[in-house]
A and B are shown apart, each in its own frame.
Chain A
Amino acid sequence: MNKVLIIAEHDGKALNPATAKCVTCANTIPDADITIAVFGADTATVAAQAAAVAGVKAVLRVDRPENEHPLAAIFAPQVAALAADYSHIFGPSTSFGKDLMPRVAALLGVAQVSDLMAVESAYRFRRPIYAGNAIITVEADASRKLVATVRVASFEAATTGGSAAIESKSLTVALPAHTRYVGAKSGSTDRPDLQTASRVVSGGRALGSAENFKMLFSLADKIGAAVGASRAAVDAGYAPNEMQVGQTGKIISPEIYIAIGISGAIQHLTGIKDARTIVAINKDGEAPIFEVADVGLVGDLFKIVPELERMVGT
């Protein structure tokens, strides 16, 4: 049996869908026995959500005041302590998992497989390198624990309907005092979450200003889409960093991705390769985005976007 421990990502109120995607990934490991660990100050609500994810055998609650914010230096020694009973320790390849999991791996003295995109056997996996321009198959030593981050764009979220047993764990692990949470600034919106949205409208430098970006928000709201941006648009200050899609931003897999005024640098295409349908709107017919788009329209985005907004949803 392969005992898989998944570290839940949550904001104290809700389980992040990335966790259910990790469950789907773990389920492709032969003979997997899946446990989700939820770290927090009070994890009752999130643990109940984790227990409802189909395919999960058990949920472990690790409640401790120090766990209120997901600080890697605080979580990692606790995850390492829990890991004793497991063969595989998974987290999502999100900013949360990327921060935490390598610290866990180092404490355990083992390697990490980053951005796991497919399971070939319990110790053989596929992952992208060079911004997704090559895919490697790696084999890990089956006699050691395996730590991995799961590339969430490669897996659908597991459904709900499960009823895993919930257990509270108290770990006697000394925690460091050298790292403290100060605060966060998030561009909270009523729009769907970019990472998990089924529709995404995304803008590039051709938008020309933060003011013009509002055009995309308006279109997105009409069709219930999340809004993304290219690195160039974020660097130019037209959109905040959390909207960046690409190699170093978010890797997403929506049903439809509408790229507006985005030329399509390799690093951007890396972030959208798994989109079901890519729509490209650009005034330059030679832009590389058209090489990967399922449907392309060459023209002036400032005319096309308002017309598109009028015509959709009618």
Chain B
Amino acid sequence: MQKLMVCIKRVVDYNVRIRVKPDGGGVMLDGVKMSVNPFDEIALEEALRIKERGSNIEVVAVSIGVADTQQQLRTALAMGADRAILVQTDAPVEPLTAAQIFLNLAKKENPDLIFLGKQAIDDDANQTGQMLAALWERPQATFASKVEINGGKAAVTREIDAGLETIEVDLPAVITVDLRLNEPRYVKLPDIMKAKKKSLDVTSLDALGISVGQFLKTVKTEPPPLRQKGIMVKDVPELVGFLKKKGLI
């Protein structure tokens, strides 16, 4: 085990309440707080724990996005990543293109494992890790809640609808992480100072020889239909009466 790559996405912060633009042309992003996708933070934390248990393991954080994505990569460096790479672009990048870009980086970096969050909390697509694994022609272990490395293999416990499932994959492999894999560390001030000295390479799609494909065109963005606030009852008999009247119990 020598190198771990972690893919990070800059997204609207988890706590921001999203608003749709009145003209239906997307969601309002001006002045909104941006953060590392929470699932990607868990992905990075797992890579850092593997690094800390081993010796001489390098953790490389990579991202795709606008110039300001450097902020999220600096956060990753402050958490403990050794270096970072930003593929800078202002164009919206769909999951398949993101997977092609990460594949390009993977072929240069040759990591033993690539970690990603299982989904980004903006587009909720849940695709990039699986697509990357397919293009890389390597195993995928999605929705991981436990990762055990054993020589050239990893045993990964996955959160599935029916419970938990364990699979074994040969390395190199792609692992996408679920919520309960770990609890990411807090970044301390000295770490932020130290992170400023770490290497953050900025490259471009041109330099990588990749063109951004557009497969899906978003033609409209709307707020979801609202549920009407219902009635309040004062006690259990009244509640049961309501439910019986509606034929629900």
Residues of A within 8 A of B (CB): 11, 71-73, 76, 94-96, 98-107, 109-115, 124, 128-141, 144, 176, 178-187, 195, 199, 223, 231, 234-235, 240-242, 247-248, 250, 255-256, 266, 273, 277-279, 290-299, 304, 307-308, 311-313
Contacts and interface: CB of A to CB of B under 8 A. Distances in A.
Given A129-B123, A178-B173, A235-B179, 5 more contacts: A102-B126, A114-B124, A132-B224, A184-B165, A307-B236
Interface of B: 12, 17-18, 20, 27, 94-96, 99, 118-119, 121-135, 137-140, 142-143, 145, 155, 158-170, 173, 178-180, 215-224, 227, 229-237, 239-240, 242-243, 246, 248-249
A100 to B, nearest CB: 8
A141 B215 contact: yes
Nearest to A181: B167
Contacts of A135: 221-224
Contacts of A179: 139-140, 167-170
A223 B249 contact: yes
Given A103-B134, A248-B178, A296-B230, A134 B20 contact: yes
Contacts of A240: 163
Contact of A103 (B131, B222, B231, B248): B131
A138 B217 contact: yes
20 contacts: A102-B134, A106-B130, A114-B125, A128-B224, A129-B122, A130-B27, A138-B218, A140-B216, A178-B170, A179-B168, A180-B169, A181-B167, A240-B163, A242-B159, A255-B248, A277-B248, A295-B239, A307-B236, A308-B240, A312-B249
A184 B237 contact: no
Nearest to A71: B167
B232 A290 contact: yes
Contact of A311 (B165, B218, B240): B240
A242 B162 CA distance: 6
A106 B135 contact: yes
Contact of A144 (B95, B215, B221, B242): B215
Contact of B139 (A11, A73, A95, A124): A73
